[in-house]
Amino acid sequence: MMKADKKNKILVVDDMAINLELIKNVFALGENFSLVTVSDGKSAIRKAKTNYFDLILLDIMMPEMDGYEVCKILKSYPTTKNIPIIFLTALNSPKDIKKAFQYGAVDYISKPFSVEELTARVNLHISLKRTTEELIEAKRNAEAAAEAKAIFLANMSHELRTPMNGIIGMVDILKRTELTEAQHEYLNIIESSGENLLTIINDILDLSKIEAGHMELESITFSLRDELRRVMNIMQIIANQKKLPIILNIDNDVPAYVKGDPVRLKQIIINLVNNAIKFTEKGNITVSVENQDTKDGKVRLLFKINDTGIGISPEGQKKLFQSFSQVDKSTTRKYGGTGLGLMISRNLTQMMGGDIGVESVEGVGSTFWFYVFLELSDEESYKKQHQEGEGADIDKTPVHVKLKILLAEDNKINQKVAVLNLNNLGHQVDIANNGKEAVEKFENSGYDLIFMDVQMPGMDGIEACKKIRELEKKSGGVKKIPIIAMTANTSKDEKKKYKEAGMDDYVSKPFKQKELITLFKKYTV
């Protein structure tokens, strides 16, 4: 119920006419007050439910319905429960005062009252009510802004990755055709440039998610040594261009299996090792891991990335770990990069309960360090988590069963990429340009599997999936058609949303043929 005017509107409830007149006279001197008076409880409830009031002054001893009962009823209605109620009464025993607050009053004034005390307390509680309302409104606006930012990020993620899906997907397809050596080289350049651009896009989106509070960490069991070795193998390929060896040292007391987010942990390491490679011309890079402490089922792991590169001045070190920041402009010109990697790494380490820092000497090299807390786990948990498909031979061999697939995708380029990939694997593909078409085609044809883009005009993929699941229930069919979400949004909340809508799995954009093969083996073989 919105306030009708700027005056503070007070409802006064008292069965004695002389008391009502006295209170009227007290507030008549103030231009900021507007009083409504009633002489019984029922009238008070009726008035409060149909009008806006900033405060209620309520007598306790009244015929038929006393003030306690009136207060109890008003506090039970959504439209009146937040109105401050001050009991103004001759009852002033400790028992009466305690009962007043138990029923929901904000204050208690004994009769006969002091005019100064009454006006002071009324002004105080109206001011508190105003402040509370402003805080609630501010919270509501902040939540709306956060929601708007989340929607914007989801849309940006979709819009930026959609064309990248076309570029990287087409390169993947072209590389499987007959090409000259020069054409292979050109495609490798396009692919490398596309991957670099995708990295920049991901960095910007990651930072935006962090700042919006939408970055989430997974909690899965993984082999720390296996993950680190995989990362080092990838990074060594990059380091080979400069003939820089990367040395990995893992202390013996570092646990074999831990629980946390391996993807985000590797993201930090990749950022730091990439920087080490970028700023080192000769020498080597060493990555070391040590167990600093094991307590209460958690391990504190310290990672160090040491290089023999150009080093960083004390002034330059102060600029690190800030958004869009590098040591100086010449660094950007010579070495490139957005300057986002260290900022993202700092936020990720803090999300894992840790911190990050650097020790460096110009001309000698740098040691970037960070520590994180991970949960202790074991091999049994790891095997249980990875038993599905663990022994599967995921190669480029097409699934032998020829499938009839429905592809719901509104982007023409992505349609072409997906159809070429699916046709090359020997499958028949029908296209739906939006969610509505997907539902209609599902009703009229028998499909083995559906790839569903999440963001489409009109009816989106989530809604289309729900409609298809409803149709399956009505038809009484036992077997559900596998529905795979095609999306750039793979946060925990988004994946939960896909699952709740009835989707079986998801494939991230941009995707490649080997990812499709994995899904076919999982759902159709």
Q: Which of 43, 49, 56 is nearest to 10 (CA)?
A: 56
> How far, in Å, are 270, 357, 416 from residue 267 at the CA level?
5, 16, 31
β-pair partners for 300: 293, 373
> How far, in Å, are 33, 319, 435, 509 from residue 506 at the CA level?
61, 39, 16, 10
Q: Burial letters for 507-525: b for 16+ Cβ neighbours within 10 Å, e otherwise?
A: bebbbbbeebbbbbbbbee
The CATH class, in words, for 8-113 is alpha beta
* Six-digit token string for 56: 């209620």
Residue by residue, what is the 3-state secondary structure of 253-316?
CCCCEEEECHHHHHHHHHHHHHHHHHCCCCCCEEEEEEEEEEECCEEEEEEEEEECCCCCCHHH
User: Is the fold of 8-113 the same as that of 404-523?
Assistant: yes
Q: Tell me the fold of 220-386.
A: Heat Shock Protein 90 (3.30.565)
First-to-last alpha carbon distance for the chain, in angstroms, is: 60
Using a 10 angstrom Cβ sphere, with 0-12 exposed, 13-18 middle and 19 or more buried, the burial of residue 135 is exposed
Complete DSSP assignment for 443-470: HHS--SEEEEES--SSS-HHHHHHHHHH
Q: Which residues contact 398 (CB under 8 A, 6 or more apart)?
A: 424, 425, 426, 517
Using a 10 angstrom Cβ sphere, with 0-12 exposed, 13-18 middle and 19 or more buried, the burial of residue 131 is exposed
Architecture of domain 404-523: 3-Layer(aba) Sandwich (3.40)
Name the one residue in this structure whose structure tokens are 């990059």: 238
Domain ranges of the chain: 8-113, 156-212, 220-386, 404-523
Alpha helices, H only, 39-86: 41-50, 67-74
Distance CA 192, CA 186 (A): 10
Complete DSSP assignment for 161-228: HHHHHHHHHHHHHHTTS---HHHHHHHHHHHHHHHHHHHHHHHHHHHHHHHHT------EEEEHHHHH
Instruction: Judge contact between 385 and 366, C-beta under 8 A.
Output: no
Q: With left for phi above 0 and alpha for psi between -120 and 50, is residue 182 left, alpha or beta?
A: alpha
- For the chain, 525 residues long, give each residue's pLDDT as a single digit of tens: 444 457 889 999 999 999 999 998 888 766 688 899 999 999 999 999 999 999 999 999 998 899 999 999 999 999 999 999 999 988 888 898 899 899 999 999 988 888 888 989 999 999 998 898 899 899 888 878 777 776 776 677 667 777 887 888 888 888 888 999 899 888 888 887 787 777 777 777 777 777 767 778 889 999 999 999 988 988 888 899 899 999 999 999 999 999 999 989 998 999 999 999 999 999 999 999 999 999 999 999 999 999 999 998 888 888 787 654 555 554 444 444 556 788 889 999 999 999 999 999 998 999 999 999 999 999 998 888 776 544 444 444 444 578 999 999 988 888 888 888 888 888 999 999 999 999 999 998 889 999 999 888 889 999 999 999 999 888 876 578 999 998 866 666 677 888 889 999 988 776 667 778 888 888 875
The answer to pTM > 0.75 is no
Q: What is the DSSP letter of 425?
A: T
Q: Which of 118, 110, 199 is nearest to 510 (CA)?
A: 199
